[in-house]
Amino acid sequence: MRRSALWGILFAAVAGCYGWTPLLGDGRGVEGGAEYASVEDAADPDGTPDAPVYPDAPPGPCDVPDLDGDGWASYACGGADCDDSNPDIHPEAPDNAGRWTFETIVDPYSGGDVSPDDAVVGSDGVVHAIGVGLGPGWPDLQDMVYFRLEGGAWSRDVVIPAEYLSQSRITLDAAGIPHAMFQYDARDGIAVHAVREAFGSWRIEEFPRPMGSYSFGPFVVEPTGVIEVLGVDRTEDGPIVLSVASSAAGGWTIEPIDPEGTADDHTAMVLAPDGVLHVAYVAETPGGIELRCAARGAAGWSIDVVTDRVLDGQVALAVDSAGKRHVGAIGPDGAIYATDASGSWVVEPIDPDSGGFGIGLALDRDGRPHVVYGVLGWSLDVDLRYAHRTESGWVREEVRAGAPPNGDAFRFGLDGTGAAHVVYDSTYATNVGGAPPDGIDQDCDGIDG
């Protein structure tokens, strides 16, 4: 005890010569009330002391307001994260995981599974689909059938009975009325436009197919009733040209857009709120494949090259209220998202190194993009994933493992409440209604679910 006391006195005396005193037990020094990490830090060789840390001013609780690194500050620090210890809990998190429900699309007439060719979701959450259904003439003939999911139950209308039809597409006009287009297989060059009227009846209009011997793709209906069809046109032995066919003036006119464009599920078309027609597509050029966007203005079509880091696959397009474009596509490393909201095109990965297999995109009421996409696994099964963008990046979730789509087509939309609806192959998936309570409020809205 006496020897320890003497060493303490000697140590204090030496420390006094350097103008600092030790703190007991932790080896740090104090000079004038300022704490240093070590004796050497108290005075550098040049005599300049390091910046002190004052024992009476410990770090504040909000020096790191986002402890779990999820991009949201905690409630205690003025943020909106109700649990700053868990990165899976924040205002943009899905509540709850496992909230998706699935059902097989069944034809009410035959009881068999149905794989619609195309589908669209209304703002009221009603799902409209078009495809081949079985009828009395099967197997020699087939019906073109409209399927409708409303109130939790599927219903059907026969649009064209007892024919061979293909390449069916569906869209909604400004009033929410469904329109369908398809072609006769047995009557070369004849296409059909069908409009749903009261009590499930359909008004049928036949006309020469506007795209010659090649298929047409998506279409829109202008508020004036004019139909705009995206597809390819080709003269005898001539090049394939991405074009839009318009039914204005009582007859079809064809406007070329790009001689390097492709068609079918590799294109998307949107009529913007301001009436401007936009298309997104994959172009095959001598130098490789490019993702492009085009817009029709008073002077004709203007074309932007978005990126050459793209694969030849499904393209999705949405236009926000400001006229800015949002595009989903498949890149070499998986699903990608591109937008010109900043005035120039910005491309970012949605799910890096995921591998990509089909994509759908929609905007919510705040203009934020939501996507569904497929991820091809080692077993060649396709996992369906869903992601939405927040200020801090993409929030992803796996919807279903082993969900092989029909080709690479996902038909996807959001209803007026922000709920997601997906049609692929013979499956309908939705997160409407959430999931059963799990005791955790993942999105910090005060409601479990």
Best CA proximity match to 432, nearest among 133, 126, 68 = 126
Measure CA 101 to chain center: 19
- pLDDT tens-digit readout, 364-394: 999 999 999 988 766 666 788 899 998 888 9
Cβ burial 303-324 (10 Å sphere, 16+ → b, else e): beebbebbbebbbbbbbbeeeb
Domain boundary among 194, 209, 224: 209
Quick check: is 219 in a domain?
Answer: no
Quick check: is 84 in a domain?
Answer: no
DSSP string, 245-257: EE-GGGS-EEEEE
| pLDDT at residue 56, rounded to an integer | 53
Mean pLDDT of the 224-252 span = 77
- Cβ pair 12, 5 in contact under 8 A: no
Q: What is the model's pTM? A: 0.75
CATH code for the domain of 280: 2.120.10.10
For residue 381, the one-letter residue type is D
Domain boundary among 209, 228, 246: 209
Whether 187 and 299 share a structural domain: no
| pLDDT at residue 32, rounded to an integer | 42
287 burial (CB, 10 Å; 0-12 / 13-18 / 19+) is exposed
Quick check: is 98 in a domain?
Answer: no
Whether 276 and 370 share a structural domain: yes
Higher pLDDT, 29 or 429: 429
Whether 283 and 429 share a structural domain: yes
Whether 382 and 294 share a structural domain: yes
| pLDDT at residue 291, rounded to an integer | 94
Element containing residue 360 per DSSP (H, E): strand 359-363
Percent pLDDT > 90 in the chain is 34
Quick check: is 184 in a domain?
Answer: yes
Element containing residue 39 per DSSP (H, E): helix 39-42
| ∠ Cα 369 375 381 (to 5°) | 145
Mean pLDDT of the 329-356 span = 89
Percent pLDDT > 70 in the chain is 73
- pLDDT tens-digit readout, 262-313: 644 578 999 999 999 999 998 888 888 899 999 999 899 999 999 999 987 8
Whether 185 and 267 share a structural domain: no
- What tokens were used for 24? 């007991």
Quick check: is 307 in a domain?
Answer: yes
Whether 373 and 293 share a structural domain: yes
Quick check: is 215 in a domain?
Answer: no
- Cβ pair 168, 181 in contact under 8 A: yes
Backbone CA torsion sign across 129, 202, 265, 270: negative
> Which residues span the domain enclosing 147?
106-209
Whether 410 and 284 share a structural domain: yes
Mean pLDDT of the 216-225 span = 90
Quick check: is 386 in a domain?
Answer: yes
Whether 446 and 347 share a structural domain: yes
Total domain count, the chain: 3
- pLDDT tens-digit readout, 87-118: 888 887 766 656 788 999 988 877 888 889 89
How far from 378 is each of 331, 373, 375, 406, 424, CA to CA, in Å?
18, 17, 10, 19, 21
Whether 40 and 123 share a structural domain: no
| pLDDT at residue 371, rounded to an integer | 96
Whether 44 and 111 share a structural domain: no
Whether 18 and 122 share a structural domain: no
| pLDDT at residue 433, rounded to an integer | 66
Whether 395 and 281 share a structural domain: yes
Quick check: is 246 in a domain?
Answer: no
